[in-house]
Amino acid sequence: MPLDTGEWLSPRMRVLPPDVRGLWVDLLCCMWESSERGVMVKSNQVAHTKQEIIRMIGVDATGSDAWLDLLVENGFCAVRESDGAYYSRHIVREENIRAKRREAGKKGGEITKAKIFSGDAEKPVAPVVPVPVKVEKPPEQSDLFPEEQSPETPPPLTPEQKAKAEKAKKYKYADFVTLTRDEYAKLCAEYGEDPTKAMIDILNNYKGSKGRKYKSDYLTIRGWVKDKYYEDLQRYGSKINGGATEPPKSPGESSYSSTL
């Protein structure tokens, strides 16, 4: 007999006296074994009276029916309006669900049986046997280069390539300033060696203190660093300020933002 554990452990059940809870379990067992499952009726479908139920459960000789009324008042036991039979809502509901499932299963079995005898049943499908796929072996390195193996080391640079690479190589003229030899030579030729060193010092101090990076230190020097150098030269004379100063600003933004 399935017991509704949620109902049994509910607070409204736990507040009832222990003897009433025990009588409710006995009554559930009688309802389960009844000719109409979940309903207290006789074999001829006549409802048991309250006194018959009390005598059946086996209470004291006084035949007190207070426990039965208490179960009805708290909604555990119900009374059917049609014939006054006492019944369990949970058992009756579960029995109706089982009856509907049995009926649905019976109909499904009859349909399947009819298909089998009429020859309309689906024939079993033969299993599909996978066709083995031939995997071609990838070509070896020697097949890709049949005449010669791939070189293990790159070929040496030509003199022209060496000269081009050397021309593009940058050197550190300060901790944070790098220039090619040609760029340094152009700056010295245009501004002089000492001013060029002073400009490099200005840019080096600024990059080191601010953590800034530029795509081209050469173009940056020709931009705001050059202007900063001449500004400091005009302000301080030969005592050039090589500190970490900001680039010169125009109203609103830096006039050399394209080089930053």
Question: What's the pLDDT score for residue 143?
Answer: 56
Do 228 and 241 meet the contact criterion of CB atoms below 8 Å apart? no
Do 169 and 160 meet the contact criterion of CB atoms below 8 Å apart? no
Q: Show me where the domains of the chain are located.
A: 5-92, 162-259
Question: What's the pLDDT score for residue 156?
Answer: 86
Is 187 exposed, middle or buried, given 0-12, 13-18 or 19+ CB atoms closer than 10 A?
buried
- Which fold, 5-92? Arc Repressor Mutant, subunit A (1.10.10)
Predicted confidence (pLDDT) per residue in 216-230, tens digit:
999 999 999 999 999
Do 57 and 46 meet the contact criterion of CB atoms below 8 Å apart? no
Q: Angle 165-168-170 (CA atoms, 0-180°, nearest 5)?
A: 120
Question: What's the pLDDT score for residue 244?
Answer: 58
Question: What's the pLDDT score for residue 258?
Answer: 40
- 237 Ramachandran zone, left/alpha/beta (phi>0; psi -120 to 50): left
Question: What's the pLDDT score for residue 259?
Answer: 43
Q: Give the Cα separation of 260 and 214 in Å (integer).
A: 6
Q: Which residues of the chain have pLDDT under 70?
A: 59-63, 119-126, 137-151, 238-246, 248-260
